[in-house]
Structure 1
C-alpha cells in the first residue's frame, strides 16, 4: 500500500527514466507487484520517456543552463493522483468532443431546414 511513509513513493519517475541501479530496479518492481498506488503512478507516467525524447538533447541542456525562477515544491498532501489527473483530462476532452459534434449537427440541421423552404 502506498502511504506517506512508503519509502518507494518517490521512485516512480526514476524508474521510468531508467535512473535506478539494477538492484533498486528489481526491488521496486517487486514492490510494484504488491502496491496498486505505485503501479498506478508508473502507468500514468508511461509516456514520459517518449515525450522527453522529442526534445533535442542540446535544447534540453540549454534549458538547464538558463536562469529560470524556481517554483516552490508542493506539499505531498496536495499532490493530485495520476488517476484523478487522467480522469479530469479525459472528461474535458470528451466534453469538447461532444460540444463539437453537437455544433456540427446544429449547423447541418439549420442548412437542411434552410434548403427545404
Structure 2
C-alpha cells in the first residue's frame, strides 16, 4: 500500500516539474497498541467511532497489535519507501497516558528506520 502510494506521488511531482527526491516524507497512521495478551476485538469500540471500519480493515490498513507487532509493521512500511521517511506521525485512538506511554516506550524504540 505505502510503496504504490509513493510511486503515484513521485509521478505527480515529476508531472508538476518537481524533484520527488527533494520532497519531505511523512508516514502517518492510526494506531492502537494492545497490552500483552489483550485481544484485538477489545479495540473495536474505539476504532468504530473514528473510522466506522471493521476489525479486518483495521488489521490490514491501520496499526493494531501488541507493541512489537506494531513496530514491525511501521518498520516494514518505512522500508518499502526507498530512503525512508523524515517524520512518523502516529494517531492513537485514545490520547490517554497509557497509550502514549506504550507508543513512546514500547513501540518507537523498536522501529527500524
TM-score bracket, shorter-length normalisation: under 0.3
Tell me which of the two structures has the higher relative contact order, counting C-alpha pairs closer than 8 angstroms and 6 or more residues apart. 2
What is the TM-score of this pair, normalised by structure 2?
Answer: 0.24
Question: Would you tell me which structure has more strand in proportion to its own residues?
Answer: 2
Question: Would you tell me which structure has more helix in proportion to its own residues?
Answer: 1
Q: Computing the radius of gyration over CA atoms, which structure comes out larger, 1 or 2?
A: 1
What is the TM-score of this pair, normalised by structure 1?
Answer: 0.24
